[in-house]
Amino acid sequence: MEYSGLVLIVVFFFLLALNVPISFSIGVATVATMLLSIDFIPAATTIAQRLAGGINTFALLAIPFFVLSGLIMGQGGIAKRLIECAMALIGMFPGGLALVNVMSCTLFGAISGSAVAATSAIGSFMIPQMEKKGYDKNFSAALTGAAATTGMLIPPSNILIIYAIASGGVSIAALFVAGYLPGILVGLSLMFVCSIYAKIKGYPTEPRLPLAIVLNKVVAALPSLLLIFIVIGGIISGVFTATEAGAIAVIYSLILSVVIYKEVSLPQLPKILLKSSETTAIVMLLIGASSAMSWILSYENIPQAISETLLMLSENPFLILLIINITLLVIGAFMDMTPAVLIFTPIFLPVAQALGMSPLHFGIMIVLNLSIGLCSPPVGSVLFVACAVAKTSIEKIIRPLIPLYVAMFLVLMLVTYVPAISEFLPSVFGLY
């Protein structure tokens, strides 16, 4: 068993070091591990079955729908209206532009379901504006990348759907509702850091706008924000499932972007559909390959061995959860969220349950962990996008990123050790 686990880890990280795409690294490492205990023909048959079976789940149909709606929204003038709304509401406070950046990234990330899209759409406008007002460019880039990750917790979120599949049956509706408070807490913690930073640096505030203009900006952004309420409201009330919510999100985003805002033309739709297909194919290949790896992990009893080892290390739940968190933070810095959730949920969820943590609570913890990984060097994907937009380098944004990272880590600790933050809203709505 130990030998199989060693082969799996060594082959996987060796291929990653060679810049082999992660889905192929997972697949090759899985095959290599299978061949230690299974003949070639049964091994090849098993991995083919697991690749196909891993994506043969009705709930996963929601992912291509939300990917498509997010891409349509991303080009539909949503970012501009959200930024103007945030500017009107909170621009007059200390560090106004930085606060607007956080709020806009949070809202756009939630609507689009993509931290990378939020970083690109909001950052391309906010980073130059902040630089004009005297904000440090590297701080602006670091802030945009950190704030964009909050959308991974606030529904509709594809990664929460993937966790629901990996955990073996946690309610998607419960996960969606559970993500609100942690996501908002992360956003507020980043705003707190921004306010302190702005006071220290003496950054200017934005002028207070007349009430009529504020209302006009809020009304202009309401159709975009309404998508969140339609999706989560319909799921909570039982009017439609998460998959059906994805289809409704596509229809709504088309009407909003093509008919109402008129920011997306009909000739642009084939390109958007093609990009959506490419993204969905990548995600599904990752899910299929990760499902195969999860199977071989289970076959070799590796999750059980890790669980027993962790529980033998200490009887203190606080310490064990801290070890799991640190491990996930390191993993998130090197691995994409989708395979990380699919691979490490079966490994760490049994440990968490043995400590009395619910699968719902653990799901929010692991997603928040890996969201922090998205803005963690050296491989954090949103950092590269933020650096490209700001025309700077990873090395230059690490220093301003540290206080933001600390704020997110403190929220992670709160979410880990205070179950009510994740479980309160689902219990209120009768979902948990």
Tens-digit pLDDT profile for residues 124-159 = 888 888 888 888 899 999 999 999 898 889 888 889
- 365 exposed, middle or buried (CB, 10 Å; 0-12, 13-18, 19+)? buried
Residue 416 is inside which H or E element, if any? helix 394-417
Helix (H, G, I), strand (E, B) or coil at 339: helix
Rounded to two decimals, the pTM is 0.88
Q: 187, 102 in Cβ contact below 8 A?
A: yes
- 310 exposed, middle or buried (CB, 10 Å; 0-12, 13-18, 19+)? buried
CA separation for the pair 432, 430 (Å, rounded) = 6
Q: 129, 99 in Cβ contact below 8 A?
A: no
The most confident of the ranges 72-76, 144-148, 235-239 is 144-148
Cα of 129 vs its chain's centroid, Å:
26
**Range name among 21-30, 166-175, 305-314 with the lowest pLDDT average:** 305-314
State the helix-helix crossing angle for 40-54 and 269-299, rounded to 10 degrees.
130
CA separation for the pair 14, 254 (Å, rounded) = 43
Output the six-digit token pair for 177: 């509702």
pLDDT at 262 over 90: no
Q: What is the pLDDT, as a whole number, of residue 2?
A: 55
Residues in the chain, overall count: 432
pLDDT at 246 over 80: yes
pLDDT at 1 over 70: no
> Any idea which residue has 């702005």 for tokens?
198
Q: Which domain holds residue 247?
A: 2-428
pLDDT at 423 over 90: yes
Higher local confidence (pLDDT), 17 or 139: 139
How distant, in Å, are the alpha carbons of 12, 74, 180, 279 from that of 276?
Answer: 28, 12, 26, 5
Cα of 279 vs its chain's centroid, Å:
15
Q: Cβ contacts of residue 395 below 8 Å, gap of 6+?
A: none
Q: What is the pLDDT, as a whole number, of residue 134?
A: 86
Of 19, 27, 51, 24, nearest to 334 by C-alpha is: 19
Helices (H) and strands (E) in the chain, counts: 21, 0
CA separation for the pair 221, 242 (Å, rounded) = 24
Q: Report whether the peptide linkage leading into residue 378 is cis, meaning its omega lies within 30 degrees of zero.
A: yes
CA separation for the pair 348, 371 (Å, rounded) = 17
Higher local confidence (pLDDT), 286 or 424: 424
Helix (H, G, I), strand (E, B) or coil at 239: coil
Of 344, 369, 371, 349, nearest to 359 by C-alpha is: 349
CA separation for the pair 420, 169 (Å, rounded) = 21
Of 302, 350, 327, 340, nearest to 3 by C-alpha is: 302
Torsional class of 371: left (φ above 0), alpha (ψ -120 to 50), beta (otherwise): alpha
How distant, in Å, are the alpha carbons of 131, 153, 385 from that of 185?
Answer: 26, 11, 24
Q: 30, 289 in Cβ contact below 8 A?
A: yes
Q: What are phi and psi of 114, to 5 degrees?
A: -135, 120
Mean predicted confidence (pLDDT) in 83-96: 85
**Range name among 1-5, 154-158, 376-380, 422-426 with the lowest pLDDT average:** 1-5
Output the six-digit token pair for 308: 């027993």
Q: 276, 63 in Cβ contact below 8 A?
A: no
Mean predicted confidence (pLDDT) in 70-98: 83
Q: Cα angle at 164 between 160 and 169, to 5 degrees?
A: 160
Cα of 155 vs its chain's centroid, Å:
10
Q: 115, 153 in Cβ contact below 8 A?
A: no
Mean predicted confidence (pLDDT) in 272-286: 88
CA separation for the pair 146, 164 (Å, rounded) = 25
E strands in 163-218: none
CA separation for the pair 236, 232 (Å, rounded) = 6
Q: What is the pLDDT, as a whole number, of residue 324?
A: 93
Mean predicted confidence (pLDDT) in 90-94: 84
- If one counts the domains in the chain, the total is 1
